[in-house]
């Protein structure tokens, strides 16, 4: 059976330590000054002393209905067999259509390769080898979970059954495979 | 240009861009003389260098002046122009990047090994010294390939940085090397 | 004229000193068979991180002798295979072109930044000469040694011992030393751990778990919170930790009042474990007396926390007993008598009997501790020393400059192993009790880590000898006479690292790759070779670190290969051991506790300073209108004064800003992002304002370690605010620096 890889982010457990940010850079050899993922703070919001703060992990949302794939003139952006959105840098001509189309601002032109770049769920080097993505493996707070939603025993399935989860910008109809659980932080 | 002169030129630049040491500092005039003779476009820079030599006669004080500029320019802290090719040519902007490995392989291909406990393979002075050896031994094909694939891409990035640093001796030497290796190439 | 004789000589190898191949001797001719196709060699080396001092286990991924990634060690349950941003950034430090690569000797005035590179031999000879001159002219005791605590201290400090200087210091006075004083005074030793993961109620006072990251502790606290534990965070600033719990913006420097009020409520409402106190402690009666008037009403006035809230916390904390804890703190030196706050915290902890139970405090279980428990003693045997026979060290001619450890004097409160490092500045400048003329600094950056940077620099300029060993041209190195380039933790062995917690745990730091810069060296080798040059080589009685480690491990029945396997060793099959885990009345003596009891009244502290045997409240001034209390703290992506120039981490956070409350900023006409001047009266610092609702209106805050002074730290130089420029060099009651009693004004620049 095909897999449906998803990432679930529990904001209550994210401490904004940026371990994921740095792990991603080394795993994916992302050039200086560029990032596939970052976790900026949202807040503090509210009025002293009643304030709140949480962190929002930003990266490709791995849409099932991906605008980037749809607009790509060279088919460099594509869904692989496990539903992961990837970029074939050899086919990419750097036209930036995908960057314009992405509602999540998740893509950039890699300064080194000249191709569009973004989170790949570490598919090639880790996930296809049975490992978790680099960010998930190093998450100090334990906020990140990754797995196959079609597997009833996966952490991600259990989390999504247990908690109310959201996707970002549902109004775009992109059906992301990255879910956010905000319980306890908003 | 005759083979010997070319080899000496590479070696002279390798001499100036390695860590200062007494025998090089004390023979600075000789390097300048070579440049003046072999690279006609270097006239202005040669005068700057000759001025430096007049103000800083050979000896410990000259050597310390070279150190004073060599360290922030190449070595620690500010590192205005890191002497390692990887830092400029590879994504990570760090030492021992893929360019460093590639240069080391090239040395081996040409029949040379670099001491594993010495300087990193892609140090500016090391690459120039290698070019000097190739030129000296008439290994023209290797030299042409080395220049094209490794040396010129590196020189075209680092020499402007050294020039722009305005550091005595080094900025002028970089300008002369630029004249010889890059501008003259461009002029064909 | 012999034209170009020099170049020709070099080129053709006739220059005498050059090898036959010619050139500068960089190249050798390669035998044809040595040309082999590069093959991809990937391996994992298990080691110990040193991007901060928490020493997490790591798995270093190496390809073709190059570190490509550092990950958490998947074998280690304490980190669950995770590592923080700094740990992940290891390769960025390792391959940084800005690292120092050769020994350097200063050629210009101190602070001119003029250096030349020299051979190790020249560097050692230069230092040895100066040491001998100072020894002869002033005495060996006038040479001080200070390092950030690390496993190689035993080599660094051996130089001091062998030449006869008693003046060895750690950085701890700037960090948790007042806690050490409190733990020693209460438990007889400082090796006390907390079991966060099983706690049901955690009160933290300024300890910012989620920004001052210690991975196993983050895991513990996060586990507790995920299991529904209450997390109460007292902090004048809204930290990330505060965001994960209930934030109580306590008035600065009043924490002791809060703790004493908790005790007052718990006694009044009988919410404490009398049986525990009777069996395991002594002196509780004096504590009852000490807190009889520290009511919630009184504490409300002191702390600004409503009295009902204090009562609510006291009840909630006590209701969760004994699986509850008040955090004892980390970077602690807030006030001159900070150690009494730490003492009071531990006393209130003991009031709920949270000793040696899950979710409470415990004696760290090294093999030595287990020896007293027949059913545990079989799990581990103690390690030994790594040195061979050593000569007798000379007796120092004078006592320490800080009087540390002298019984019957206030100096008794200062742990001599750490010392009052701030005293070095004072002794250099005032000559009291006697002058300091030389200073060795290892892996420590006093210019940024110690208070009153300007005064410290003034002191550095007066020294006859300053030697700094580090990986970067740090702010201290910039003023040094001799700079010694150490290789990084990814390139060296170190002695065994004992990280025992609820089970024994021995960790290894081992090289993952050969030296990146061939002329850098590990600290142990630097001090061994320097020792030989000074003429005290006999003290360094070991060949290399493999031999040293083997000697250490042998008595424990372990081998170096065993340690290399996973990078650490813990006894197989041993469960976390709480002395009172099964039987609440089981013997549970803290190591070296006087009479085997936990000292609520401390005779030792009373002996040091009469009247201080039981904590008592001291009221410190509060800022008047228009002034702010200046507090500082840690940020997740940087370590103290250490990592700000590491490329990837610098990229994430190149500078700090001054947090100021929205209302307070409005009064000053300061907007978010404005350039401002912060003034302590004596010192001024420029910076940027971060206007936020997340701070008390009477307090301003900056992350520590920014605003670097060494122009050689290219990325971090002059970026942001150096907090220690503004803080006065005051020496607290237990030798601590004092970080949180400085008041500042803020104005638009």
Class of domain C51-94: mainly beta
> How far apart, in Å, are the Cα atoms of C664 and each of C285, C486, C688, C746, C747?
44, 46, 15, 10, 11
Instruction: Say if CB C332 and CB C314 are below 8 A apart.
Output: no
Angle between helices B152-165 and B124-136 (to 10 degrees): 130
pLDDT at B117: 76
- The tokens for B70 are 């060599």
Mutate to test the interface with A, among C59, C74, C88, C92 (most CBs of A within 10 A): C88
Distance CA B46, CA B25 (A): 16
Residues of chain C below pLDDT 50: 1, 15-19
Q: Does C62 touch chain A (CB under 8 A)?
A: no
Instruction: Say if CB A6 and CB A149 are below 8 A apart.
Output: yes
How many angstroms from the chain centroid is the CA of residue C296? 35
**Domain range for B69:** 3-181
How many angstroms from the chain centroid is the CA of residue A103? 13
For residue C512, list chain A residues with Cβ-Cβ distance below 8 A. none
Q: Do C117 and B75 touch (CB under 8 A)?
A: yes
Mutate to test the interface with B, among A26, A31, A89, A108 (most CBs of B within 10 A): A31
* CATH number of residue B176's parent domain: 1.10.3480.10
Please report the residues numbered 77 through 136 in chain A whose beta carbons come closer than 8 angstroms to any beta carbon of chain C: 134
- The tokens for C564 are 């290399």
Q: Do B113 and C96 touch (CB under 8 A)?
A: no
CA dihedral A93, A95, A96, A102 (to 10 degrees): -80
Q: C445: buried, middle or exposed (CB in 10 Å: 19+, 13-18, 0-12)?
A: buried
Closest CA to B54 of B79, B32, B36: B32
| pTM of model > 0.90 | yes
Instruction: Report, as an integer, the average pLDDT of A16-40.
Output: 96
In a domain, A186, yes or no: no
> pLDDT digits over B26-70, tens only?
999 999 999 999 998 999 999 999 999 999 999 999 999 999 999
Write out the H or E segment, with its range, that includes residue C488.
Answer: none
How many angstroms from the chain centroid is the CA of residue C306? 35
User: C495: alpha, beta or left, given left = phi > 0 and alpha = psi -120 to 50?
Assistant: beta
Closest CA to C675 of C654, C657, C661, C689: C689
> pLDDT digits over A40-82, tens only?
999 999 999 999 999 999 999 999 999 999 999 999 999 999 9
Q: Which fold has domain C104-174+402-539+555-569?
A: Rossmann fold (3.40.50)
> pLDDT digits over B129-185, tens only?
999 999 999 999 999 999 999 999 999 999 999 999 999 999 999 999 999 998 876
Mutate to test the interface with A, among B87, B88, B90, B91 (most CBs of A within 10 A): B91
Buried/exposed B70-102: b ≥16 CB within 10 Å, e otherwise = bbbbbbbbbbbbbbbbbbbbbbbbbbbbebbbb
> What's the structural domain count of chain A?
1
Q: Do A48 and C697 touch (CB under 8 A)?
A: yes
Looking at the complex, report in whole angstroms how far the Cα of residue C211 sits from the nearest Cα belonging to chain A: 7
Distance CA C160, CA C155 (A): 9
> How far apart, in Å, are the Cα atoms of C457 and each of C113, C446, C481, C698?
14, 9, 14, 31
- The tokens for B48 are 């700057």
State residue B110 phi and psi, 5-degree precision. Answer: -85, 0
Picking from C5, C10, C27, the nearest residue to B11 by CB comes out as: C10
pLDDT at B173: 97
Nearest residue of chain C to residue A41 (CA atoms): C240
pLDDT-derived band at A2, boundaries 50, 70, 90: confident
Q: Does B98 touch chain A (CB under 8 A)?
A: no
Nearest residue of chain C to residue B128 (CA atoms): C23
Q: C182: buried, middle or exposed (CB in 10 Å: 19+, 13-18, 0-12)?
A: buried
pLDDT at C617: 97
**Domain range for A90:** 5-181
Q: Is C663 helix (H, G, I), strand (E, B) or coil?
A: helix
Please report the residues numbered 211 through 230 in chain C whose beta carbons come closer than 8 angstroms to any beta carbon of chain A: 211, 213, 215, 218-219, 222, 226
> What's the structural domain count of chain B?
1
Query: What is the DSSP-derived secondary structure letter of residue C357?
Result: S
Q: Where are the domains of chain C?
A: 51-94, 104-174+402-539+555-569, 192-363+579-608, 628-748
Distance CA C606, CA C604 (A): 5
C192-363+579-608 CATH choice from 1.20.120.790, 3.40.228.10, 3.20.20.70, 3.40.50.2020: 3.40.228.10
* Statement: residue B72 has pLDDT above 60: yes
Distance CA C555, CA C571 (A): 15
In a domain, A32, yes or no: yes
Query: How many interface pairs between A and B have CB atoms less than 8 angstroms apart?
Result: 9
Q: C417: buried, middle or exposed (CB in 10 Å: 19+, 13-18, 0-12)?
A: middle
For residue A17, list chain C residues with Cβ-Cβ distance below 8 A. 84-85, 210-211, 213, 218, 636-637
CA angle A127, A131, A134 (to 5 degrees): 85
Distance CA C480, CA C489 (A): 23
Distance CA C698, CA C274 (A): 40
* CATH number of residue A172's parent domain: 3.30.70.20
Q: Is C202 helix (H, G, I), strand (E, B) or coil?
A: strand
> pLDDT digits over C85-104, tens only?
999 999 999 999 999 999 99
Q: In DSSP terms, which residues pair with C684 in a beta bridge?
A: C679
Mutate to test the interface with C, among A33, A55, A141, A146 (most CBs of C within 10 A): A141
ipTM: 0.97
**Strands C743-748 and C506-507, sheet pairing:** unpaired
For residue B121, list chain C residues with Cβ-Cβ distance below 8 A. none
Nearest residue of chain A to residue C69 (CA atoms): A26
Query: How many other CB atoms are found less than 10 A from the CB of residue A158?
Result: 14
Instruction: Say if CB C195 and CB C359 are below 8 A apart.
Output: yes
H helices of C661-737, in order, are 662-668, 723-726
CA dihedral C286, C287, C291, C296 (to 10 degrees): -160
For residue B120, list chain C residues with Cβ-Cβ distance below 8 A. 516-517
Q: Do B76 and C99 touch (CB under 8 A)?
A: yes
Picking from A18, A26, A142, the nearest residue to C68 by CB comes out as: A26
Nearest residue of chain C to residue A32 (CA atoms): C648
Looking at the complex, report in whole angstroms how far the Cα of residue B22 sits from the nearest Cα belonging to chain A: 38
Q: C227: buried, middle or exposed (CB in 10 Å: 19+, 13-18, 0-12)?
A: exposed
> How far apart, in Å, are the Cα atoms of B59 and each of B49, B66, C625?
16, 11, 63
In a domain, B187, yes or no: no
Query: Looking at the domain that runs over C628-748, which CATH code has it been given?
Result: 2.40.40.20
> CB-based contacts of C402: which residues, under 8 Å, 6+ apart?
C411, C414, C419, C420, C423, C731, C735
């Amino acid at each position: 059976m095909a897999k449906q890889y998803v990432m679930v982010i529990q904001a209550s457990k994210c401490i904004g330590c940026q371990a994921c940010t740095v792990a991603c850079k080394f795993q994916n050899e992302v050039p200086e000054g560029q990032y596939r993922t970052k976790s900026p703070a949202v807040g503090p919001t509210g009025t002293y002393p009643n304030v709140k703060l949480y962190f929002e992990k930003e990266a490709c949302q791995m849409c099932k209905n991906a605008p980037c794939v749809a607009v790509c003139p060279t088919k460099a952006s594509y869904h692989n067999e496990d539903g992961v959105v990837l970029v074939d840098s050899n086919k990419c001509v750097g036209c930036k259509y995908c960057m314009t189309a992405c509602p999540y601002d998740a893509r950039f032109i890699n300064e080194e390769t000249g191709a569009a770049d973004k989170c790949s769920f570490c598919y090639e080097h880790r996930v296809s080898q049975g490992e978790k993505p680099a960010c998930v493996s190093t998450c100090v707070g334990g906020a990140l979970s990754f797995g196959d939603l079609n597997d009833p025993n996966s952490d991600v399935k259990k989390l999504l059954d247990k908690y109310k989860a959201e996707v970002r910008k549902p109004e775009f109809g992109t059906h992301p495979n990255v879910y956010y659980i905000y319980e306890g932080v908003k | 240009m005759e083979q010997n002169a070319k080899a000496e030129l590479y070696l002279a630049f390798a001499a100036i861009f390695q860590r200062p040491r007494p025998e090089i500092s004390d023979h600075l005039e000789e390097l300048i003389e070579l440049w003046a003779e072999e690279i006609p476009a270097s006239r202005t820079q040669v005068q700057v260098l000759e001025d430096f030599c007049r103000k800083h006669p050979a000896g410990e004080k000259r050597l310390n002046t070279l150190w004073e500029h060599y360290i922030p320019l190449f070595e620690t802290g500010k590192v205005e122009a890191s002497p390692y090719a990887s830092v400029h040519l590879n994504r990570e902007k760090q030492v021992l990047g893929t360019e460093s490995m590639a240069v080391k392989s090239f040395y081996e291909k040409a029949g040379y090994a670099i001491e594993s406990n010495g300087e990193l393979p892609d140090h500016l002075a090391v690459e120039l010294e290698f070019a000097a050896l190739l030129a000296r031994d008439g290994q023209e094909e290797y030299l042409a390939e080395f220049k094209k694939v490794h040396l010129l891409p590196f020189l075209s990035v680092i020499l402007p940085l050294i020039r722009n640093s305005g550091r005595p001796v080094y900025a002028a030497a970089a300008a002369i090397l630029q004249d010889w290796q890059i501008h003259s190439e461009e002029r064909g | 004229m012999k034209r170009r004789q020099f170049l020709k000589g070099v080129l053709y190898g006739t220059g005498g000193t050059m090898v036959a191949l010619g050139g500068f001797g960089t190249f050798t001719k390669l035998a044809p068979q040595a040309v082999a196709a590069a093959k991809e060699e990937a391996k994992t080396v298990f080691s110990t991180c040193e991007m901060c001092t928490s020493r997490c286990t790591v798995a270093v991924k190496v390809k073709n002798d190059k570190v490509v990634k550092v990950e958490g060690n998947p074998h280690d349950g304490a980190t669950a295979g995770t590592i923080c941003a700094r740990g992940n950034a290891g390769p960025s430090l390792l391959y940084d072109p800005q690292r120092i690569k050769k020994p350097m000797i200063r050629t210009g005035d101190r602070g001119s930044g003029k250096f030349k590179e020299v051979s190790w031999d020249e560097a050692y000879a230069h230092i040895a000469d100066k040491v001998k001159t100072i020894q002869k002219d002033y005495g060996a005791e006038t040479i001080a040694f200070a390092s950030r605590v690390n496993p190689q201290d035993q080599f660094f400090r051996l130089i001091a011992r062998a030449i006869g200087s008693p003046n060895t210091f750690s950085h701890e006075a700037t960090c948790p030393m007042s806690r050490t004083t409190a733990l020693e005074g209460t438990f007889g030793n400082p090796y006390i751990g907390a079991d966060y993961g099983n706690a049901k109620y955690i009160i933290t006072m300024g300890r910012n778990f989620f920004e001052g990251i210690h991975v196993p502790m983050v895991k513990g606290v996060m586990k507790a919170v995920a299991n529904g534990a209450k997390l109460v965070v007292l902090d004048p600033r809204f930290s990330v930790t505060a965001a994960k719990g209930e934030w109580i913006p306590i008035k600065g420097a009043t924490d002791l009042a809060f703790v004493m009020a908790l005790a007052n409520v718990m006694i009044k409402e009988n919410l404490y474990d009398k049986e525990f106190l009777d069996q395991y402690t002594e002196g509780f009666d004096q504590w009852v007396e000490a807190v009889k008037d520290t009511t919630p009403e009184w504490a409300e006035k002191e702390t600004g926390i409503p009295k009902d809230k204090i009562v609510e916390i006291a009840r909630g904390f006590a209701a969760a007993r004994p699986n509850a804890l008040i955090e004892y703190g980390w970077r602690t030196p807030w006030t001159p008598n900070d150690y009494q706050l730490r003492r009071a915290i531990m006393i209130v902890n003991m009031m709920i009997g949270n000793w040696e139970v899950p979710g409470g405090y415990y004696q760290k279980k090294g093999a030595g501790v287990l020896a007293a428990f027949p059913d545990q003693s079989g799990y581990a045997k103690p390690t030994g020393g790594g040195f061979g026979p050593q000569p007798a060290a000379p007796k120092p001619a004078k006592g320490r400059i800080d009087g540390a450890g002298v019984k019957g004097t206030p100096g008794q409160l200062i742990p001599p192993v750490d010392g009052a490092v701030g005293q070095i500045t004072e002794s250099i400048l005032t000559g009291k009790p006697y002058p300091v003329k030389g200073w060795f600094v290892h892996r420590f950056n006093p210019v940024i880590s110690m208070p009153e940077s300007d005064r410290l620099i003034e002191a550095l300029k007066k020294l006859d000898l300053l030697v700094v060993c580090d990986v970067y041209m740090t702010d201290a190195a910039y003023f040094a006479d001799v700079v010694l380039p150490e290789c990084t933790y990814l390139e060296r062995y170190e002695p065994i690292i004992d990280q025992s917690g609820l089970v024994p745990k021995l960790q290894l730091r081992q090289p993952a790759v050969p030296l990146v810069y061939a002329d850098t060296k590990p600290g142990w080798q630097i001090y061994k070779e320097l020792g030989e040059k000074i003429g005290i080589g006999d003290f360094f009685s070991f060949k290399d670190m493999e031999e040293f480690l083997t000697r250490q491990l042998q008595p424990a029945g372990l081998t170096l290969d065993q340690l290399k396997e996973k990078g650490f060793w813990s006894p197989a099959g041993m469960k976390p051991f709480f002395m009172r885990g099964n039987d609440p009345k089981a013997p549970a003596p803290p190591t070296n506790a006087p009479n085997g009891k936990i000292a609520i009244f401390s005779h030792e502290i009373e002996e040091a300073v009469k009247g201080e045997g039981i904590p008592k409240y001291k009221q410190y001034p509060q800022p008047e209108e228009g002034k702010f209390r200046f507090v500082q703290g840690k940020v997740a992506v940087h370590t103290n004064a250490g990592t700000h120039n590491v490329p990837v981490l610098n990229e994430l956070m190149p500078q700090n800003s001054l947090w100021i409350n929205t209302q307070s900023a409005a009064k000053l006409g300061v907007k978010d992002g404005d350039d401002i001047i912060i003034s302590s009266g004596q010192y001024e610092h420029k910076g940027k304002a971060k206007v936020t609702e997340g701070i008390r209106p009477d307090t301003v805050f900056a992350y520590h370690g920014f605003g670097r002074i060494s122009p050689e730290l290219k990325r971090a130089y002059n970026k942001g605010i150096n907090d220690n420029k503004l803080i006065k060099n005051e020496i607290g009651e237990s030798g601590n620096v004092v970080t949180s009693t400085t008041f500042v004004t803020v104005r638009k620049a």
